[in-house]
Structure 1
Amino acid sequence: MSRLEQALSNAEFTPDPQRVWRWQSDADGQKAVVKFELLADLEYAPAGSLVSFDDCKELGAANLRGTGFAARDFLPRTMSAQVGGNKYYVDVKVTGLAGFLLAKIAAAYGRRKEKD
């Protein structure tokens, strides 16, 4: 199991059985949908395909064109969570508005659907 999978499990997330890139939380019998979604923009893999990670049992990503823009425009943020009576902190790279918008535009352009 990878360190990221272990960290997600420690934070009481479980993988969505139909989407390897989405993990959720179900604490104390009350389902709280907390989405942890991983995206990739890999040229060697087909758009829309699932990407597996080395040393991961269940964690993966959706390969979506344009998401590389989001990876280049980020802001560091510290987030915290209370787990089992202990408070944990983590530094996370959060996509900025410009990267988010470019990723969305690239995805819509790639889909070329009437709704976009």
Structure 2
Amino acid sequence: AIRLRTEKDIWQNLHEFPMHESQDPEPFPHKNFLRELLGVQPYSVVSQSRVYVQQLTHQTIHGQFIQVSIPKAVSIPGTFMPVAKKDLTRYAFPRMLNTFLEEEIV
């Protein structure tokens, strides 16, 4: 699932996956995040990516991607829309997400 960013920042009008933002460098508690996102829907973690780094003028962004498999379609809160893996190349993403998609998905 992806959504279009509408916030007025450098990623405006680019797409993103559901994400968790934190200032904390500790390992990401993905089980809690996924439970909040998916509710009681069963899921399995398919893979966890390496840490990607994007240097901006005023900060360094570190990102890690967790691929999840779910047995059936699920409604994700907010403005997210389901997109087939093969169709992800049709959407504009921030550089870090494009790098991840090129290396591990598409």
User: Which structure shows the bigger proportion of residues in strand conformation?
Assistant: 1
Tell me the TM-score normalised to structure 1 length.
0.32
Larger radius of gyration: 1
